[in-house]
């Protein structure tokens, strides 16, 4: 009897979970299909011919994807260097040092999350134009860094706050200088958190579209811009291949940080 | 403004550091300010200054000041503004419902295996970039996209009965698809940290799980839900790729209208006026929320 009851209760469960799986993986499957479809037209539910000829075209030495990929990676790396380079001292100061107007500083760092950033990018583009930064890699990096920096400072502040102060005090008491203590004790201890924020900033930069669209285009083409132009031109294979390239690092990151996404870790957010 | 959001202010305050190093060459305050200044300067120069100039720029008309840009913006884009409000509100409602349903099942689900599957399943869209969401849904929801092809294949509809979802519905679907996992993550976290004893005793008294969810759990996690939804609204008002890729015709969202105003006409005045409208919309939501919280705390 109880076995039968259990079986029956799996019917709504399976229906619900199946529907959710379709909603989530249907569109993603569609993307993979488009990436390997040679010929696909209505009313055929599945591609008529599969192959990798578009991949060859995309990654050909003279194809535009290689250049965009290099651009994207260079921009993302520079963004990480700037964001983390500025966030580590700022995070340390916010977590450990006595600061005047600390609340005001934190509020200023929250503002980019509280306002829509499209009007901001529009005006950055106008300001950058006067300085000749429009259409340059540096201009795009600065826009990405201003966005990534905010996350990086939050995470760095959290990482430094979580450290046990006694270890630093012990180092100081046996005569290490402040800088030496920071480099040899504090920084290695905070490294996991800082690394996570570096990866996060890297991905944010890799996926960023709006700022690059206003500041970089058409001179600096990144993968999201290539995806957009290919899609707008109706070239769904190239757009889908580009989308897959963008998707892989993001999903990998999700699987890596899965343990940080546990409910108990996040229970303090927003309270 | 959403100061009540993920707060670094919850972190350990600096004042519990009892300044043990009297031999510092520099006073701690000065050192702290020196360390914070570069990051702060970038945020001020590259976010707050452009934000301010988007507001002042909206009032600049032919060298003077006036409301001309707003008049033009309302004359040309009133439809788009209404469209934006409808899209953002319906997406927010859907995101709220879906995240309550998912996190509710994660908290109260009786079958551990079903809960585990759901937990594995729901968060996939979280890390799919918006630009990829736009591309994926454009091909999936089109009149001859995979979704309609599969429906035709199953015989539910014929090919001539299918419709394209690439209009306001497409944008709502895209936002809901992408944003629900984030709000669910926050909400499930808040629910997991609740005291289980009240839930257990309600269950022992025979309350249904639906009733426990809506009468005991939800009132306690409402602040978290609100924060998640407001962050979602700010995001929806910032994303350009989804409206441009999913819904290419008019009416469209004012984000796409702003981009069009600049690309086609180089008209920063009207674009900034539209920007101010979008700022007012998000601030209004945040203000309503803050007022409610203040009232609740009184």
Per the domain annotation, does A220 fall within a domain? yes
Q: Poorest-confidence range of B73-87, B103-117, B144-158, B185-199?
A: B144-158
Average pLDDT over residues A185-214: 87
Chain A residues with beta carbon closer than 8 angstroms to that of B210: none
Assess whether pLDDT exceeds 60 at residue B1: no
Q: Check B122 against A99: CB less than 8 A apart.
A: no
Same domain, B209 and B158: yes
Domain span including residue B59: 30-66
What confidence score (pLDDT) does residue A42 get? 64
Same domain, B256 and B274: yes
Same domain, B197 and B284: yes
Residue in B128, B190, B234 nearest the CB of A270 = B190
Structure tokens at B256: 């796409």
Best mutation target, B8, B97, B165, B259, to test chain A (most A CBs within 10 A): B8
Which residue in chain A has the smallest CA separation from B235?
Answer: A116
Q: Check A263 against B15: CB less than 8 A apart.
A: no
Average pLDDT over residues B10-18: 43
Whether ipTM tops 0.90, in short, is no
Same domain, A115 and A6: no
Assess whether pLDDT exceeds 70 at residue A267: no
Residue in B2, B42, B223 nearest the CB of A114 = B2
Q: Check B131 against A207: CB less than 8 A apart.
A: yes
What confidence score (pLDDT) does residue A168 get? 83
In this complex, is the C-beta atom of B48 within 8 Å of any C-beta atom belonging to chain A?
A: yes
Q: Check B35 against A124: CB less than 8 A apart.
A: no
Question: How far is the CA of B286 from the CAs of B92, B171, B208, in angstroms?
Answer: 14, 22, 34
Chain A residues with beta carbon closer than 8 angstroms to that of B149: 42-46
Same domain, B146 and B54: no
Assess whether pLDDT exceeds 70 at residue A163: yes
Per the domain annotation, does B8 fall within a domain? no
Same domain, A36 and A100: no
**Confidence band of A258 (pLDDT split at 50, 70, 90):** low
Per the domain annotation, does A271 fall within a domain? no
Chain A residues with beta carbon closer than 8 angstroms to that of B21: 172, 178
Same domain, B111 and B200: yes
Average pLDDT over residues A20-44: 83
Query: What is the CATH classification number for the domain harbouring B177?
Result: 1.10.3720.10
What confidence score (pLDDT) does residue B15 get? 41
Same domain, B58 and B185: no
More confident residue, B33 or B93: B93
Same domain, B37 and B98: no
Which residue in chain A has the smallest CA separation from B191?
Answer: A267
What confidence score (pLDDT) does residue B87 get? 93
What is the pTM assigned to this prediction? 0.84
Chain B residues with beta carbon closer than 8 angstroms to that of A248: none
Tens digit of pLDDT for each residue in B128-187? 889 999 988 888 888 777 888 878 878 777 777 777 888 888 999 999 999 999 999 889
Percent of chain A, pLDDT > 70? 90
Best mutation target, B5, B131, B260, B274, to test chain A (most A CBs within 10 A): B131
Which residue in chain B has the smallest CA separation from A28?
Answer: B136
Per the domain annotation, does B89 fall within a domain? yes
Which of B 152-181 lie inside 8 A of A, CB atoms?
152-153, 159, 177
What radius of gyration do chain A's Cα atoms show?
A: 24
Same domain, A255 and A139: yes
Q: Poorest-confidence range of B2-6, B49-53, B96-100?
A: B2-6
What confidence score (pLDDT) does residue B18 get? 42
Count interface pairs A-B at CB distance under 8 A. Answer: 338
Same domain, B241 and B169: yes
Percent of chain B, pLDDT > 90? 28
Same domain, A115 and A25: no
Per the domain annotation, does B52 fall within a domain? yes
Average pLDDT over residues A114-137: 89
Q: Check A31 against B1: CB less than 8 A apart.
A: no
Tens digit of pLDDT for each residue in A41-83? 766 677 777 877 777 777 776 667 788 888 899 999 999 999 9
Instruction: Tell me the three state secondary structure of residue B151.
Output: helix
In this complex, is the C-beta atom of B36 within 8 Å of any C-beta atom belonging to chain A?
A: yes
Selection from A53-62, B93-102, B108-117, B204-213 with the highest mean pLDDT = B93-102
Which residue in chain B has the smallest CA separation from A247?
Answer: B128
Same domain, B168 and B278: yes
Which of A 141-200 lie inside 8 A of B, CB atoms?
142-143, 145-146, 149-150, 153-154, 157-158, 161, 165, 169, 172, 178
**Cβ-based neighbours of B167, under 8 Å, separated by 6 or more:** B247, B249
Mean residue pLDDT across chain B: 84
Same domain, A24 and A120: no
Same domain, A219 and A98: yes
Q: Poorest-confidence range of A105-109, A138-142, B1-5, B224-228?
A: B1-5
Q: Check A119 against B275: CB less than 8 A apart.
A: yes
Domain span including residue A14: 2-51
Same domain, A19 and A84: no
Average pLDDT over residues B81-87: 92
What confidence score (pLDDT) does residue A147 get? 87
What confidence score (pLDDT) does residue A260 get? 60
Q: Poorest-confidence range of A5-19, A256-270, B275-289?
A: A256-270
Q: Check B135 against A240: CB less than 8 A apart.
A: yes
Same domain, A17 and A77: no
What confidence score (pLDDT) does residue A46 get? 75
Q: Domains in chain A: how many in total?
A: 2
Domain boundary among B49, B66, B83: B66
In this complex, is the C-beta atom of B192 within 8 Å of any C-beta atom belonging to chain A?
A: yes
Q: How far apart are CA B252 and CA A220, in angstroms?
A: 27
Assess whether pLDDT exceeds 70 at residue A269: no
Same domain, A82 and A129: yes
Same domain, B283 and B271: yes
Q: Check A92 against B35: CB less than 8 A apart.
A: yes
Residue in A96, A145, A227 nearest the CB of B17 = A96
In this complex, is the C-beta atom of A119 within 8 Å of any C-beta atom belonging to chain B?
A: yes
Same domain, B139 and B187: yes
Same domain, A81 and A155: yes
Q: Check B39 against A153: CB less than 8 A apart.
A: yes
Which residue in chain B has the smallest CA separation from A110?
Answer: B3
Residue in A86, A97, A121 nearest the CB of B28 = A97
Task: Output the 3-class SS for chain A.
Answer: CHHHHHHHHHHHHHHHHHHHHHHHHHHHHHHHHHHCEEECCCCCCCCCEECCHHHHHHHCCCCHHHHHHHHHHHHHHHHHHHHHHHHHHHHHHHHHCCCCCHHHHHHHHHHHHHCCCHHHHHHHHHHHHHCCCCCCHHHHHHHHHHHHHHHHHHHHHHHHHCCCHHHHHHHHHCCCCHHHHHHHHHHHHHHHHHHHHHHHHHHHHHHCCHHHHHHCCCCCCCHHHHHHHHHHCCCHHHHHHHHHHHHHHHHHHHHHHHHHHCHHHHCCCCC
Same domain, A107 and A216: yes
Assess whether pLDDT exceeds 60 at residue B58: yes
Q: Poorest-confidence range of A246-255, B57-66, B244-253, B287-296?
A: B287-296
Same domain, B91 and B76: yes
């Amino acid at each position: 009897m109880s076995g039968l009851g259990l079986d029956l209760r799996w019917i709504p469960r399976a229906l619900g979970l199946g529907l959710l799986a379709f909603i989530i993986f249907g569109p993603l499957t569609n993307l993979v299909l488009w990436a390997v479809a040679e010929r696909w037209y209505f009313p055929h539910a599945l591609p008529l011919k599969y192959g990798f000829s578009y991949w060859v075209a995309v990654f050909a030495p003279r194809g535009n994807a290689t250049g965009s990929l290099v651009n994207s990676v260079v921009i993302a790396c520079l963004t990480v260097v700037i964001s983390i380079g500025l966030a580590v001292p700022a995070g340390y100061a916010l977590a450990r040092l006595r600061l005047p107007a600390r609340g005001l500083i934190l509020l200023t760092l929250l503002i980019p999350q509280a306002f829509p950033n499209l009007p901001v990018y529009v005006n950055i583009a106008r300001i950058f134009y006067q300085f000749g930064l429009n259409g340059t890699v540096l201009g795009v990096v600065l826009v990405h860094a201003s966005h990534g920096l905010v996350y990086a400072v939050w995470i760095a502040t959290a990482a430094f706050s979580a450290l046990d102060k006694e270890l630093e005090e012990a180092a100081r008491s046996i005569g290490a200088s402040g800088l030496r203590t920071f480099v040899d004790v504090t920084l290695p201890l905070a490294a996991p958190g800082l690394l996570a924020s570096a990866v996060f900033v890297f991905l944010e930069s890799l996926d960023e579209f709006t700022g690059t669209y206003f500041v970089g285009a058409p001179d600096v083409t990144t993968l999201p811009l290539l995806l957009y132009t290919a899609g707008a031109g109706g070239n769904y294979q190239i757009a889908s291949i580009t989308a897959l390239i963008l998707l892989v690092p993001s999903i990998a990151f999700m699987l890596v940080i899965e343990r940080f996404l546990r409910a108990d870790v996040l229970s303090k957010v927003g309270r | 403004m959403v100061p009540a959001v993920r707060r670094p202010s919850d972190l350990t305050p600096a004042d519990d550091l009892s300044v043990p190093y009297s031999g510092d060459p520099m006073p701690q305050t000065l050192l702290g300010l020196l360390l914070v200044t570069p990051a702060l300067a970038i945020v001020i120069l590259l976010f707050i200054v452009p934000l301010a100039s988007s507001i002042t720029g909206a009032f600049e008309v032919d060298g003077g000041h006036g409301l001309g840009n707003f008049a033009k913006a309302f004359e040309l884009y009133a439809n788009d503004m209404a469209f934006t409000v409808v899209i953002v509100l319906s997406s927010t409602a859907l995101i709220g419902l879906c995240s309550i349903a998912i996190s509710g099942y994660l908290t109260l689900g009786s079958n551990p295996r079903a809960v585990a599957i759901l937990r594995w399943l729901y968060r996939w869209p979280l890390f799919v970039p918006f630009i990829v969401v736009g591309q994926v849904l454009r091909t999936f929801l089109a009149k001859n996209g995979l979704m309609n092809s599969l429906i035709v294949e199953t015989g539910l509809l014929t090919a001539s009965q299918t419709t394209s979802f690439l209009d306001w519905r497409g944008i709502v679907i895209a936002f809901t698809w992408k944003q629900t996992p984030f709000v669910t993550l926050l909400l499930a976290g808040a629910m997991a940290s609740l005291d289980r004893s009240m839930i257990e005793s309600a269950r022992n008294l025979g309350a249904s799980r639906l009733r426990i969810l809506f009468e005991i759990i939800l009132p306690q996690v409402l602040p978290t839900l609100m924060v998640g939804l407001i962050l979602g609204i700010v995001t929806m008002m910032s994303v350009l790729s989804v409206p441009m890729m999913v819904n290419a015709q008019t009416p469209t969202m004012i984000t796409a209208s702003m981009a069009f105003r600049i690309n086609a006409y180089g008209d920063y005045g009207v674009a900034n006026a539209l920007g101010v409208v979008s700022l007012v919309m998000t601030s209004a939501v945040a203000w309503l929320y803050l007022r409610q919280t203040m009232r609740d705390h009184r």
